[in-house]
Each structure stands twice: as structure tokens, then as C-alpha cells.
Amino acid sequence: MRDPLKEAITSEIDYNLLIYLLRHYKFPRNKISSLIASGSLVRVKKGLYVRGDAPYSLPVLANMVYGPSYVSQHYALGMYGLIPERVHAVTCMTLGRRKQFDTPVGVFSYEPLPARLYSVGIRRVELSPTQPYQIATPEKAIVDIIWRRKDLNSTEAMDDYLTHDLRLDLDRRHVYSLSRMRKIESVYHKRCVKVLTTLLAKRLGS
């Protein structure tokens, strides 16, 4: 019998899809164990797998590992090319509890966010029709890092933190949107978020 995983149109496979792919096997659980042992299938966590012979997407997996969630903070900024360091953990925000998952394919960390702050400033990306994920806009990714900070109460302090501590590139004007930032600010009602809006307006010349 041919490799049942070849029928999958995505490398990220949840349990329901896997059972469907193995529908012709009398003992699908035994086949799952065999596929894992051979390296054809990698168990990310209970009920979630990736094919061992095909590339997979960490952002797609991040939304599947724990949710509802979206990719944000340092990992999102790294994806946008706004910070120089390589970020090893996939950092996410969630409506659930604080969690961290150390898996064979990487570390996924989740920070809780109140429901009223969750939906603003996130976008849906589709690598393919079967590989969607949600990610923060550049502005929201920054806000998710700083929104609890009480020491960033001036544009000077904010600029110093972003450029020296976070090493964020604020000069790529085409990446940032002041209208998106103002929409986020209108929901957060935080001093540091207002300061960030003022700083971005200054940097963008608006």
C-alpha cells in the first residue's frame, strides 16, 4: 500500500485528518506508531503531527498547538525583518492561559491577552487554502511586548527601548501604518501605547 501521508495536501496534520488518511487500515493507531518510528511522521503534541519528509510552517503550527492564538511579539517582528536577532521560540498571544510547549519542531510560547484587546491589529495569512494562520501587524507585535510597561512614558524612553534594547528598525516607513497604530491605541487606553503612537507619527513624518 502506498504512503498514506502523500494524500495530505498540507504538512501540518491534526488527528482527524490523520485518521482519515489511514481510513483503509484496520488498525490505524498501530500505523501511526509505525509512521512515527520510521520518521515519516513527527508528533508535535497530542493530536498534532507533521510529515517528516516535507517542509512545514511554524506559524501555522503555532495556531494549531494552542488557541485561539496569533503569532506576535519578537517572532512576528522577526518575520517582518524588523529585528536582527533570530528568534527561536514562536511567541504568540492567546485568549487562554500562559503556556509553553517544547516540541520536537520548536518551542511555542503563549501570553494571555484580555478579550477586548485581542482582535485589533491582527491579520490572516494564507500560505495555501489549507494553511492559514493569524499574525499581529508590526504595530500590534510591538504593543504586545510593551503594553504592560509603566516606564515607557515618554517618546525618549520609548525610542531608546525600541532602538537599543529591542533593536527594532523604525526607519522602514513602508512597513508601519499610523492608522493601524491609532486604531490599536483607541482600544488599549494605555499611556505607553499612546507614546508609541506619538513616536511612530514622528518617525513617519505624520
- According to the model, what pLDDT value does residue 206 have? 64
User: Quick check: helix, strand or coil at residue 175?
Assistant: coil
Residue 94 in contact with residue 69, Cβ under 8 Å? yes
As a whole number of angstroms, the distance between CA 136 and CA 133 comes to 10
Give residue 15's pLDDT: 94
Please tell me what DSSP assigns to residue 169. -
The maximal CA–CA distance of the chain, rounded, in angstroms, is 66
Is residue 110 a contact partner of residue 100, using CB atoms and an 8 Å limit? yes
User: What kind and span of H or E run contains 191?
Assistant: helix 191-204
Over residues 27-43, the pLDDT tens digits come to: 999 999 999 999 999 99
- Answer whether the bond into residue 68 is a cis peptide, omega within 30°: yes
Specify the pTM. Answer: 0.92
DSSP 2-31: --GGGG-SSSEEEHHHHHHHTTT-S-HHHH
Helix (H, G, I), strand (E, B) or coil at 197: helix
Q: Check pLDDT > 70 for residue 1.
A: no
Q: 150-175, pLDDT tens digit by residue? A: 999 999 999 999 999 999 999 888 89
pLDDT of residue 204: 85
Helix (H, G, I), strand (E, B) or coil at 76: helix
Q: What would you report as the CA-atom Rg of the chain, rounded to the nearest whole angstrom?
A: 20
Per-residue pLDDT, 172: 85
Q: Residues 52, 56, 63, 45: what is their CA dihedral angle, to the nearest 10 degrees?
A: 10
For residue 117, the tally of other CB atoms under 10 A from its CB is: 20
* Confidence band, pLDDT 50/70/90 cuts, at residue 190: very high
pLDDT in tens, 123-146: 999 998 889 999 999 999 999 999
The dihedral built from the CA positions of residue 85, 91, 92 and 98, taken in this order, carries a sign that is negative
Percent of the chain clearing pLDDT 70 (strictly above): 99
Among 22-26, 53-57, 86-90, 111-115, which range has the highest average pLDDT?
111-115
Of the candidates 61, 62, 47, 76, the residue with the CA atom closest to the CA atom of residue 110: 62
Average pLDDT, the chain: 94
Contacts of 34 (CB under 8 A, 6+ apart): none
Q: Is the pLDDT of residue 10 over 60?
A: yes
Cell readout for 132 is 492559514
